[in-house]
């Protein structure tokens, strides 16, 4: 779903149509998807407005040395991935905002770099399924306000927030999440002077702008009809998710470091919110989180909004420190 700043929320609500339980209406658009295999209730799936590939994924990203990058502001968020033996790579949110998926290969490993603005879910996945490389696109469908991806090879649908196949040949399969994290461009550049950063795609998009102005301080998530999180937590509050546990940003900012359940979380200031100001670099400071185990190794995690954690992990554990 792409919420342009010139569209009002009521119009967006009209564009999103609830799907009937019978998926027959999608067969023409998805003739190669096996709708007899599903792990979800089709009533939970809605159209976000754009059709299949209306939000174009990136298939062959170009990269440039970090030292040559001049477009990014120091505070702009990037999604970082480090592969042993390879230069670290940064995928700017200014590009993921408009493309949502980047299909890449690092050190011979195919990866899918993903970002769903409506959930603030940013994750890197091993793009192999049963040992074979798969490439991913944006379906134009949402579930619990989260992007449904599809793979080109089998036209199966995948839930981005959990990396799970939900419809089609790969229903029930799970992608392996890799350690990756959101940080400010200056943090990446200073730590990785020999690193690489994804170059600007050759699409006509307003890169550097945020089409979801004020979203992360809105009263309600767009296109979400589910329950609010428990414990009085704001639905659009950021949380740190590690497997089925969630820590609130509010608690982590207050403490600076939390060591619980074998996880070490650290928070530092300096990263702009991509979903606040019209210009991403001018967003308010939400800070950077690093998530490691007790041996200092980076752990796979996500920084979703609280409503998304509750929607996809209804029995999840809230680490409130009480």
| pLDDT tens digit sequence for 159-191 | 999 999 999 999 999 999 999 999 999 999 999
* Residue-range definition of the domain harbouring residue 146: 9-183
If asked whether residues 17 and 129 sit together in one domain, one would say yes
Distance CA 226, CA 313 (A): 12
4 within domain boundaries: no
Concatenating the DSSP letter of every residue in 239-294 gives: EEEETTEEEEHHHHHHHSEEEETTEEEEEES--B-TTSSSBGGGSPB--EEEEEET
Distance CA 222, CA 9 (A): 8
Q: What is the three-class DSSP state of 26? A: helix
Digitized pLDDT (tens) for each residue of the chain, 322 residues in all: 444 443 343 334 333 444 446 788 899 999 999 999 999 999 999 988 899 999 999 999 999 999 999 999 999 999 999 999 999 999 999 999 999 999 999 999 999 999 999 999 999 999 999 999 999 999 999 999 999 999 999 999 999 999 999 999 999 999 999 999 999 999 999 999 999 999 999 999 999 999 999 999 999 999 998 999 999 999 999 999 999 999 999 999 999 999 999 999 999 999 999 999 999 999 999 999 999 999 999 999 999 999 999 999 999 999 998 6
192 within domain boundaries: no
Residue with tokens 């940080």: 183
Backbone angles phi, psi at 89, to 5 degrees: -125, 140
Please check whether residue 236 is in contact with residue 222, taking contact to mean a CB–CB distance below 8 angstroms: no
Distance CA 9, CA 118 (A): 13
If asked whether residues 172 and 222 sit together in one domain, one would say no
151 within domain boundaries: yes
If asked whether residues 234 and 93 sit together in one domain, one would say no
Distance CA 109, CA 124 (A): 12
204 within domain boundaries: no
Q: How many domains does the chain have?
A: 2
Please, where are the H alpha helices in the chain? 9-15, 93-99, 185-191, 249-255, 306-312
205 within domain boundaries: no
Contacts of 314 (CB under 8 A, 6+ apart): none
């Amino acid at each position: 779903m792409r919420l342009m700043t010139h569209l009002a929320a009521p119009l967006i609500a009209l564009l999103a149509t609830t799907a009937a339980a019978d998926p027959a209406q999608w067969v023409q658009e998805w003739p190669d998807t096996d709708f007899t295999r599903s792990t979800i209730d089709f009533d939970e799936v809605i159209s976000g407005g754009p059709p299949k590939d209306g939000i174009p994924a990136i298939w062959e990203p170009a990269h440039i040395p970090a030292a040559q990058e001049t477009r990014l502001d120091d505070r702009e968020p990037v999604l970082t991935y480090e592969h042993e033996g390879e230069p670290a790579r940064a995928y700017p949110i200014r590009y993921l905002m408009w493309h949502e998926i980047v299909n890449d290969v690092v050190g011979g490993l195919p990866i899918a770099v993903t970002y769903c603005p409506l959930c603030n879910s940013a994750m890197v996945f091993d793009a192999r399924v049963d040992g074979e490389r798969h490439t991913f696109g944006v379906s134009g469908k949402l579930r619990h306000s989260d992007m449904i991806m599809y793979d080109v090879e089998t036209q199966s649908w995948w839930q981005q927030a959990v990396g799970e196949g939900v419809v089609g040949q790969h229903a029930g399969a799970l992608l392996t999440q890799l350690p990756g994290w959101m940080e400010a461009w200056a943090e990446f550049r200073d730590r990785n002077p020999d690193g690489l950063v994804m170059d600007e795609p050759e699409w006509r998009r307003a890169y550097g702008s945020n089409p979801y102005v004020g979203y992360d301080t809105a009263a309600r998530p767009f296109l979400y009809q589910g329950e609010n999180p428990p414990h009085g937590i704001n639905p659009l509050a950021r949380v740190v998710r590690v497997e089925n546990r969630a820590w609130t940003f509010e608690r982590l900012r207050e403490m600076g470091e939390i060591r619980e359940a074998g996880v070490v979380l650290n928070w530092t200031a300096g990263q702009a919110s991509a979903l606040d100001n019209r210009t991403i670099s001018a967003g308010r400071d939400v800070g950077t989180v690093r998530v490691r185990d007790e041996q200092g190794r980076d752990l796979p995690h996500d920084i979703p909004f609280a409503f998304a954690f509750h929607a996809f992990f209804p029995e999840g554990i809230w680490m409130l420190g009480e």
